Amino acid sequence: GGADIECDLMVLGAGPGGYSAAFRAADLGLKVVLVEKYATLGGVCLNVGCIPSKALLHVAAVMEEAQHMNELGVAFAAPQVDIDKLRAHKAKVVGKLTTGLAGMAKARKVQVVRGVGSFLDPQHIAVETDEGRKVVKFAQAVIAAGSSAVKLPFIPEDPRIVDSTGALELRFVPKQMLVIGGGIIGLEMATVYSALGARISVAEMLDGLMPGADRDLVKVWEKQNAQRFERIMLKTKTVSVEAKDDGIWVKFEGEQAPAEAQRYDMVLVATGRSPNGRKIAADKAGVAVTERGFIEVSPQMRSNVPHIFAIGDIVGQPMLAHKAVHEAHVAAEVAAGQRSHFDASVIPSVAYTSPEIAWVGLTEEQCKAQGRAIEKGQFPWAASGRAIANGADYGFTKLLFDAESHRIIGGAIVGPNAGDMIGEVALAIEMGADAVDIGKTIHPHPTLGETVGLAAEAAHGSCTDLP
Ligand code: FAD
């Protein structure tokens, strides 16, 4: 039969990509329907990702800072954790934001249709709602259906074996916890659980933690986190996981791996995320999906079907909320008839661990691999008054410049608030700033952000053809 609802733009998925596309399109005058299966808006990021993890990481950071105060002459009693209250706090943070989004949708007259959506043809999607199946007819569509945690086939179902969503539920604090996968998500959760009292082991397939990050930063991070870990196993494959009454028994393979099975009270599987492209019947709309589930798009965020756009985790790496939001704005603007395309030269990455690691643009390893001549400007925080005052003199800021043009091409920061500071480096890259531009920009003293200016000065101080 016909359609129950008609609209100019149907957005599938209400994560950072979906809600941003819906809101921008509505602001530009389109009649928008937003299809979402979760009870709340916000997707992975607000409900089970960026936001709840940061709510818990903030608590972990304060607990660790309080302990550190003992050395400075201010003693606090050992922390007593009420895990139910902490869980409620996290839920409250998430609730504030998702409620805010619902209000913003209403204010813009974006119609939210709650249920699982699946395409019928290039102009229709069926949504299985609580009140039965509803068919939405759309002139254009944005697919923002996101990604899901990768499941390892040999891992059994057990409440003590969790993915990031399960870990964020804070069911209990284990004594011994194994994190499979040493990337950002795994190490953020390791930071939370170790602050709460768990001993952490990490098994990572690659030869280093935090793949993608500058190795000099990771070294600093590892040194600062040495006491957090029972064991870090690199180049290690997890080969079997068995749930027994007395714990989860895990076997590994690799030079650094123990020969015998190890026992843990909780196992977090954080081995990556895979796109949801194969779960939405995209083929019925004619939208091409790769074997792995990604949808390939043009710089205007159009799929192979020109009136159907795709954005966010489902279109590829990096799977980050800020990337999804920017792609969303492009898709909505193009759908509304504006000239727009995605042309960010860089997308920053941040691990909100203790300390934070943030990087943007090229890393030194990538420059080396490309055979690219660079100038390096480094500023060790041991020379920063603010870092010393804050007990963060182990940190450092590194900037990379093209040797010929002296323009900045990458930056990396390790230390508290690194994530808040990397935005300036991203701006400098986007604006084509050179070492003099950054070095001669007056940064406030004493701040950690000052180290960005000082690192730039260190670079242009070392090159002869500049004043
Ligand atoms: P998603 O947020 O995945 O949203 C997709 C939405 O589509 C979901 O709500 C889903 O329910 C809905 N959906 C899917 N299929 C259907 C269907 N058929 N019908 C109806 N609805 C459907 N990124 C950062 O930038 N910073 C961070 O600090 C950060 N921390 C993270 C921490 C964790 C633990 C995790 C797991 C991720 C984190 N991320 C972080 C990544 C970030 O969450 C994602 O990049 C972001 O959510 C992607 O947005 P999206 O709009 O593409 O998709």
Three-class DSSP category at 397: strand
Dist CA 309 CA 334 (whole Å): 9
Q: What is the pLDDT of residues 35-91, one digit of tens each?
A: 999 999 999 999 999 999 999 999 999 999 999 999 999 999 999 999 999 999 999
- Report pLDDT for 272: 96
What is the distance in A from the centroid of ligand 1 to the CA of 255? 35
ipTM of the complex: 0.99
- Report pLDDT for 462: 52
318 preceded by a cis bond (ω within 30 of 0) = yes
- Report pLDDT for 93: 98
Relative to the CA of 50, which ligand 1 atom is closest? 30
Cβ(342)–Cβ(326) below 8 Å:
yes
Q: What is the pLDDT of residues 161-196, one digit of tens each?
A: 999 999 999 999 999 999 999 999 999 999 999 999
Ligand 1, pocket residues at CB < 6 Å: 12-18, 35-38, 43-45, 49-50, 53, 116-118, 144-147, 164, 185, 276, 280, 312-314, 319-322, 324, 352
DSSP category for residue 48: H
> The tokens 């691990």 sit on which residue?
351
Confidence of residue 461 (pLDDT cuts 50, 70, 90): low
Residue of 406, 443, 445, 460 marked active site = 445
Three-class DSSP category at 186: helix
Is a pLDDT exceeding 90 seen at residue 353? yes
Is a pLDDT exceeding 70 seen at residue 357? yes
Q: What is the pLDDT of residues 381-415, one digit of tens each?
A: 999 999 999 999 999 999 999 999 999 999 999 99
Token digits of residue 182: 């040493």
The mean pLDDT value for 436-455 works out to 97
Look at ligand 1, atom 47, and give the residue with the nearest C-alpha: 45
Dist CA 234 CA 414 (whole Å): 21
Q: What is the pLDDT of residues 209-227, one digit of tens each?
A: 999 999 999 999 999 999 9
Three-class DSSP category at 314: helix
Phi/psi for 77 (5° steps) reads: -70, 160
What is the distance in A from the centroid of ligand 1 to the CA of 241? 27
How would you label 171-194 residue by residue, b for 16+ Cβ within 10 Å and e otherwise? eebbebbbbbbbbbbbbbbbbbbb
Cβ(328)–Cβ(24) below 8 Å:
yes
- Report pLDDT for 2: 85
- Based on the residue annotation, tell me whether 445 is a catalytic residue of this protein: yes
- Report pLDDT for 467: 37
Helix axes 418-430, 450-461, angle to 10 degrees: 50
pTM of the model: 0.97
What is the distance in A from the centroid of ligand 1 to the CA of 147? 6
